[in-house]
Structure 1
Amino acid sequence: MHSSEMQKSVSVQVDSDFALLLPSGAYEIKKMEPRSKLRRVILFCLLLSLFGMVAFGYFCPDQVCALSPRERVSEAVALTYAEAPGRPLPDMIAQPGLSYDEVLHDDFRFDLNAHDVMVFLHIQKTGGTSFGKHLVMDLDLKRPCNCQRARKRCHCFRPHSNEIWLFSRYSTGWKCGLHADFTELTACVGGELDRNEGSAVHRRYFYITLLREPVARYLSEYRHVKRGATWKGSRHWCQGRTATGAEVPPCYNGDSWRGVTLEEFAACPWNLANNRQTRMLADLALVGCYNGTLRHRTSDTDRVLLASAKRNLAAMAYFGLTEFQKNPAFCANRRRSRWSLLQHKPGQRGVPDAC
């Protein structure tokens, strides 16, 4: 019998390695690691990985932790969904915020004691000034907004903390720019609240807005500009930068367009009053932001913006129609409002005269 056939090898758990020579052959005794220790190491690694994924998804902002950057979606893709009225855009360009259906059917109630935030998208000349004042002065809350006489600003805090629950002109000011649109707000609100409160918090956002009959809104903006309004403080922020003067050129020379005629107002091809409500509700990244969209608008571009605006409007928790504020119930409520807190009275500029 060959010596190689007589040599056998076994493994047992001992404190050290040694060789044992027995009459039936040579046995090599090797030290083994306990299986229980190896299992503990594997279990620890799995738990650590799971904790990391949960923490990553919970604390990291969407705009930072997205698996891929949001790029311009081709017009062909967006137009496919624009052809059918009311058909939602694909998930790849879905926007944050709770939709009306979610609020209605899934019992997503706005919770002042949690981290829910109401975000008011204020479109020019839709009655947003009056509506914004009602939000800070006329809601029946356990801890009403604290409005200061000397300033057009109210502190709207949660019942048991100094966290902000309302993001609007009269609560936080124009933190995201004068009359910030949907594209600006969704990229800005979270960071501004984090800076204001000194910490990053996982919040739910309830977007709300007001809409107005387009022709009436356009004429109202014309009259406002004719009196000297410019909204020069608007940032037009999109995809990480402000639109340049060449992308959003003024329609006038000088400080304002005071005294402009309606014909001159309508003749300017890049007048932001044109189709303003759709533009302010849409995701402008879908059409390359302001890069050429004002000077070289096409029917396809307009259809993409309309499809996106419908999608975002459907994803809002609430929207109202300006014309319905003219009914008697609204007028009665308005007359009971504490307008003096913000130094406004019915009939003054900025307050509707329909009543």
Structure 2
Amino acid sequence: MNKKSVTITDIAKRANVSKSTVSRVINNSTPVNPEKRDAVLAAMKELHFEPNIFARGLASGQSRTIGVMTQNIGSPFYDAISQGILTSLATTDYSPIFADGRWRAETGIAAAETLLGRMVDGLIVVGSRLPEDELDELKDRVPTLIVGREIDGWENLCLFLDNERAGYEATKLLIGLGHKQIVHISGIEDHQDAIRRKAGYRRALEEAGLPVDPELICDGEFDGDSGVNAIENLLNKGIKFTAVFAANDMTALGARLALYRRGIRVPEDVSIVGFDDQAESAFFTPPLTTVKQPANEMGVAAAVAMIKLIADEEYKLPNLESKVVVRESTMARD
């Protein structure tokens, strides 16, 4: 029998049960006698029957899908969060649908509308630069969680890390190694993570009694070009420094390349600290000291919480923390 033509009636006949029993088994709505359930499942297998998820959604009022709008597919950090979501949902009867919001707010709005058009039961927003009023609207339309961003008034709906503390710890490590002239290559100017990491850098310097030199703070875009351009500009101006704290690992890699081209050794002449601990960081030359974010764990926790939020059950988002992973790109200053 062609599996596309198999109906509940066919399964009921094969299993010798009523159509309502077949429906209850397929939708897992109410308890069914174990023998009858086994008979229905056996009939479904014999007839190669695959339940129509969309049809089940119409019947139950749920699509059994969760929309995931990520800020940038291809970003190691956001992709690791998405992997955590995938891993967590794999053990449930929910499936994720992904959309890429990129950096611009208008793109994020279009991505969100695409997901809502698929009748998702919930929405996980990873990062995103959507304005807060737009996010408030989404929350009014569908259960929504934010990962990697803090928003006032979204208590227990935001899962984020303390980026200010992380920036502070990264800079403090360099200060503890004896560095006093520390460059910071920041991320996107108005990005919450970039702002807070820079604030942590400044706090560590001020706490140590070191000046915050504007010439050592370079604007960046969370990419390799930012690292290359920042180091080139500093060297061309003759500005002295012994360490670099980059806003992310890609920026750190760009900085490393620029130093290599000038014959400046890492870490003998200049130490470098990155941020994110992307998979390749341990294989940089030399291996990169960086701030590790529990991105996968964030994705897992968000998926678990979303299922409970959809079911209107109690949940609590965990307090996850970053940590500095020390490798060979940093060393003590004589």
Structure number with higher relative contact order (C-alpha < 8 Å, ≥ 6 residues apart) = 1
Tell whether the structures are fold-level matches, with TM greater than 0.5: no
Q: Normalized against structure 2, the TM-score is what?
A: 0.26
Q: Normalized against structure 1, the TM-score is what?
A: 0.25
Bigger Rg, which one: 1
